[in-house]
Structure 1
Amino acid sequence: MTRDAKWEALFSLPRRAPESGLDQEHMDMALAIQQVTEEAVMRLARTARALTGCRNLTMAGGVALNCVANGKLLRSGMFDRIYIQPAAGDAGGALGAALAAWHIWKGNERTPLPEGALDRMRGSYLGPEFSPADVDRMASRHEAPYTRFEDFDALCDTVCEHLAAGHAVGWFQGRMEYGPRALGGRSILGDPRHPEMQKKLNLKIKYREGFRPFAPSVLAEKVSDCFELDRPSPYMLLVAPVAEALRKPLPEGYFQKPMFERLYVQRSTLPAITHVDFSARVQTVHRNTNERYWRLINRFNEREGCPVVVNTSFNVRGEPIVCTPQDAYRCFMRTEMDHLVIGDCLFSKDRQPAWRETEDWRDEYELD
């Protein structure tokens, strides 16, 4: 989406072709664009603060999904509270239209939030939900064996064992998320302590460049133990530094090394979610909005002493996040994911029949 001649005349740098090498000049360009974006966001925020005198800020629009800028704005102390709509891009217009009709056209008054609620988004779990019968039909169609757990705690124990063994687990529960982030309804999970987890998820499951970072899901009660963050971040829209206590000393000459050499240095005890600058894109998990996900992470913490799991969206690069059990099983079988949990059912890759494709599925979607 560029005019190549004008781009090259302005930047003295040819447009990078898809799947071509990522050089230092491309990284410098990305950093410059991010810095300009952050400056624009900060100036707009200062102006809004000066004009209104308000200590609270609500953000929406596509740029409000820029987690790094959001984190810096929060840490600036300019506002006491910042709220970012989880479907802040174009999709949020549907919600805005519905609210406008309800309050403006219909004239309905606002009511107080339910006790303990952060907002009215219900954790952003507003999408479709599927029944055990839907899962049974999908499994029957593919002759896919699975284990159904009557006790959810036992399922959590089994999943925790797989995570601790370095396995990647597809986690499909309840209603789908509304917005661009996977928040524990349609997620792929891993152990953040595993030094190879970032590379495994990127190269063998997401099929994308190995440098791309992953986000941590952390128990809301433990967020300040792991990150320099003193408030909820339920929609994965804030970047915060990893806590000093979890950081590891950097090797001599670290900042002089090329980016790809720095990438796989273990910077903390949670290497799979710690970016090169010690930051992380944090999701706090709350029992009152996603009890099953909270219980899984809580059990992982009880067993392993780690209140964090790696959370990435349940899809491959360029593909929409899975919605249905059929979508989930197809993604599971097309990748090197080890296990899939749908509701109370556990599918393990080594028990599944061979998956047959009639064409190269990686050509179905344009890569991002």
Structure 2
Amino acid sequence: MSIIVGVSAHYHDAACCIIKDGKLIAAAEEERFSKVKHDSSIPTGAFRYCLREANATIDDVDCIAYYEDPYKKASRQIATNVLDLLQNPKRRFRIDPARPERDIRQSLGFNGRIEYVDHHLSHAASAFFYSGFADAALLTVDGVGEWATTTYGRGADAHIELFEEVSFPDSLGLLYSTITAYLGFDVNDAEYKVMGLAPYGRPLYVEQMRRLLDVNERGQYRLNMEYFDFLNGERMYSERLPELFGAAPREAESELGVFHKDLAASLQRTLEDILLEKARYLHDAVPVENLCMAGGVALNCVANGRIQREGPFARLFVQPAASDAGGSLGAAAVAHTRLTGRRPELKALPHVYLGPAYSNAEIRQTVRAIFPDTSIVDCTERPEELIAQTAQRLADGKVIGWFQGRMEFGPRALGSRSIIADPRRPEMRDRINALVKMREAFRPFAPAVLEDKAAEHFELDHPSPFMLETCQVISPLSLPAITHVDGSARVQTVSEQSNPRFHALLAEFDRLTGCPILLNTSFNMRGDAIVLDPVDAVWCFVVSDIDALVIGDYIVDRGFKLETWNKLKEIFTARAAKKRVAPESVNVYTFL
């Protein structure tokens, strides 16, 4: 028996996974345990969970695989920060290639073998080895790894070859982050907001956008560095960028104007066009039917949709945790091939429900300690009643916090830690945005749909279980709460095999309403990580405007005395203030 642990840490989205005899057993991001959004610290909470889920001890672990080469990364940090380090000598202590091993030894308590896997190899492996493809072309695109920012490769059986790369500072990820900062959003976090804003505008600035980089032959491109300033560590763009677009940078949280929407549309179009061009080059070099993608840019589901529809590959697999969190999966898979000579099991990732689950006993203890019995519906002996009552509440216009089974791995809520609602109600999108998610009104919500009925409502001819591509809404139903301004939606298809309880809820809602679709968004408040455990779920329920909490086999309604509710809100809000500090705005990548 072989047990391999994969770890990503020390940049953002730290995570841990465990592979047992080539099978992925568990995976989780550290932010869910620490409650620090995008937590980058060594994933001690996730590590302990993975060992428990695999029924293993630290002595059973054959190897811990780390998702990048810390010495190659240090060479880039030193080479590109020499002036800054000379002017600020204390910053040199932030360059510490020995830190990963030290943290693995001291914080995780592991004394065995450590394998280091290059960052983009970890990304590529995280897609290829979990795609179910025997062979594939591989495309990874992010901000930066050690030196690589984009890599092209091929995978066959247990072997991966990365045959070309684009190197730092030339980076499509950093291009996108630069415009994200210029538009007043946080870098390395809010790029998805720019993607969501883009359909509100027109791509009027594509010509100017193309001046920001030169797209060369083969897989290469170069940023025009006179428009960028991220190497100096103060901000992403130089003064030349506002001159190019003829407008000052937007202040964070200020009103979004026509210019901002048009600029977002121009950036999105530029990214899509370049990715399509490079996908065609990759197909010429690796003429197979399958493409695997990973890296933070691969979370751009609009671009993925275009690559799927217009690109040369017949099939596309995008790693559901495409950012650095997923690098833990790839590192573990590569270590498995090094130790055993075999690839992990040749099987498509069936789902990402890889995190902790909680028993009804644990859930009952939490809800009964906090809520009066009169507000709790106990369905432990009649699970079909739980589905029926939840579907009826949804049909009645209720917003539901849905906490079931094992937590999802990756950034998307996929029916395990979700907020769900009726997508047919025009007011639902604004209500959830304003009162539950407390986020920008322009951002769309996603639909979850029964897999066997998806093609009746969306321009989609294949399963899309991980919510990683967009397509047009073609439904005969009016679905204003999940249809974006351009008529698109980011679809999750749900099968009975992948999530039986969520599938049953969708089927019952379809029986009641004739609509096999639910609005599905992540179960969290703005600035928080997605909920992990019953206490997190109760907190989010109490301080938000959610109408009911469906947690395990229990339903909790907001039906009890107002003064009791207000007292609970006061207690949980105080608890939240202690556990969280509001994140500061981030306007530049941190490369040290």
TM interval, short-chain normalised: 0.7 to 0.9
Cα distance in 1 for partners of 2:255, 2:534 equals 36
Residue 333 in 1 paired to residue 542 in 2? Answer: yes
Asked if structure 2 preserves the Cα contact closer than 8 Å seen for 1:188 and 1:312, the reply is yes
Asked if structure 2 preserves the Cα contact closer than 8 Å seen for 1:317 and 1:367, the reply is no
Task: List alignment gaps of at least 5 residues for structure 1.
Answer: 114-118, 247-267
TM-score normalized by structure 1?
A: 0.87
Residue 13 in 1 paired to residue 247 in 2? Answer: yes
Which of 105, 110, 117 aligns to 2:339? It is 105
- The change in CA–CA distance for 1:112 and 1:360 in structure 2 (over 3 A counts) is closer
Asked if structure 1 preserves the Cα contact closer than 8 Å seen for 2:433 and 2:439, the reply is yes
**Residue of structure 1 in register with 2:431 after alignment:** 200
User: Which SS does the other structure have where 1:170 is aligned?
Assistant: strand
Q: Which amino acid letter does the alignment assign opposite residue 179 of structure 1?
A: G
Give CA deviations for 1:153-201 in whole Å, capped at 9, x if unaligned.
2111111111111110000111100000000010000001111111111
Which of 432, 448, 453 aligns to 1:217? It is 448
User: Between the two proteins, what is the percent identity of the paired residues?
Assistant: 43
Residue 187 in 1 paired to residue 403 in 2? Answer: no
Asked if structure 2 preserves the Cα contact closer than 8 Å seen for 1:4 and 1:15, the reply is no
Q: Which has the higher contact order (CA 8 A, sep 6+)?
A: 1
The farther-off stretch of 11-20 and 181-190 is 11-20
User: Which SS does the other structure have where 1:288 is aligned?
Assistant: coil
- The change in CA–CA distance for 1:365 and 1:290 in structure 2 (over 3 A counts) is farther
1:142 deviates by 2.2
Asked if structure 2 preserves the Cα contact closer than 8 Å seen for 1:318 and 1:367, the reply is no
1:78 deviates by 1.6
Cα distance in 2 for partners of 1:110, 1:199 equals 44
1:139 deviates by 1.9
- The change in CA–CA distance for 1:321 and 1:182 in structure 2 (over 3 A counts) is same
Residue 63 in 1 paired to residue 63 in 2? Answer: no
Residue 135 in 1 paired to residue 363 in 2? Answer: yes
Cα distance in 1 for partners of 2:395, 2:584 equals 31
Cα distance in 2 for partners of 1:350, 1:366 equals 34
**Residue of structure 2 in register with 1:231 after alignment:** 462
- The change in CA–CA distance for 1:101 and 1:157 in structure 2 (over 3 A counts) is same
Cα distance in 2 for partners of 1:327, 1:110 equals 34
Give CA deviations for 1:310-355 in whole Å, capped at 9, x if unaligned.
0000011121111111111100110110001111110112237322
1:361 deviates by 4.8
Task: List alignment gaps of at least 5 residues for structure 2.
Answer: 1-180, 182-234, 586-592
1:302 deviates by 1.2
The structure where strand makes up a greater share of residues is 2
Asked if structure 2 preserves the Cα contact closer than 8 Å seen for 1:220 and 1:284, the reply is yes
Cα distance in 1 for partners of 2:539, 2:357 equals 18
Residue 48 in 1 paired to residue 282 in 2? Answer: yes
1:35 deviates by 1.0
Q: Which amino acid letter does the alignment assign opposite residue 138 of structure 1?
A: T
Residue 345 in 1 paired to residue 576 in 2? Answer: no
- The change in CA–CA distance for 1:26 and 1:155 in structure 2 (over 3 A counts) is same
Choose 1 or 2 for highest CA Rg: 2
Residue 366 in 1 paired to residue 583 in 2? Answer: yes
1:102 deviates by 1.3
User: Which SS does the other structure have where 1:351 is aligned?
Assistant: coil
Asked if structure 2 preserves the Cα contact closer than 8 Å seen for 1:177 and 1:185, the reply is yes
TM-score normalized by structure 2?
A: 0.55
Asked if structure 2 preserves the Cα contact closer than 8 Å seen for 1:4 and 1:14, the reply is no
Cα distance in 2 for partners of 1:192, 1:226 equals 12
Asked if structure 1 preserves the Cα contact closer than 8 Å seen for 2:336 and 2:344, the reply is no
- The change in CA–CA distance for 1:34 and 1:96 in structure 2 (over 3 A counts) is same
- The change in CA–CA distance for 1:8 and 1:176 in structure 2 (over 3 A counts) is same
Q: Which amino acid letter does the alignment assign opposite residue 13 of structure 1?
A: A
**Residue of structure 2 in register with 1:252 after alignment:** none
1:366 deviates by 3.0
1:39 deviates by 1.4
- The change in CA–CA distance for 1:360 and 1:289 in structure 2 (over 3 A counts) is closer
Asked if structure 1 preserves the Cα contact closer than 8 Å seen for 2:415 and 2:520, the reply is yes
The farther-off stretch of 104-113 and 289-298 is 104-113
Cα distance in 2 for partners of 1:216, 1:144 equals 33
Which of 274, 281, 284 aligns to 2:483? It is 274
Residue 148 in 1 paired to residue 148 in 2? Answer: no
Q: Which amino acid letter does the alignment assign opposite residue 147 of structure 1?
A: V
Asked if structure 1 preserves the Cα contact closer than 8 Å seen for 2:280 and 2:311, the reply is no
Cα distance in 1 for partners of 2:548, 2:581 equals 24
- The change in CA–CA distance for 1:40 and 1:174 in structure 2 (over 3 A counts) is same
Give CA deviations for 1:103-134 in whole Å, capped at 9, x if unaligned.
22232355443xxxxx13x4100011111122
CA RMSD between the two structures: 2.0
The correspondence of residues 274-313 of structure 1 with structure 2, limited to 5 A, is 274-313=483-522
Residue 240 in 1 paired to residue 471 in 2? Answer: yes
- The change in CA–CA distance for 1:140 and 1:156 in structure 2 (over 3 A counts) is closer
User: Which SS does the other structure have where 1:83 is aligned?
Assistant: strand
Asked if structure 1 preserves the Cα contact closer than 8 Å seen for 2:450 and 2:507, the reply is yes
Q: Which amino acid letter does the alignment assign opposite residue 519 of structure 2?
A: V
**Residue of structure 1 in register with 2:321 after alignment:** 87
1:77 deviates by 4.9
User: Which SS does the other structure have where 2:386 is aligned?
Assistant: helix
Q: Which amino acid letter does the alignment assign opposite residue 187 of structure 1?
A: S
Cα distance in 2 for partners of 1:102, 1:3 equals 38
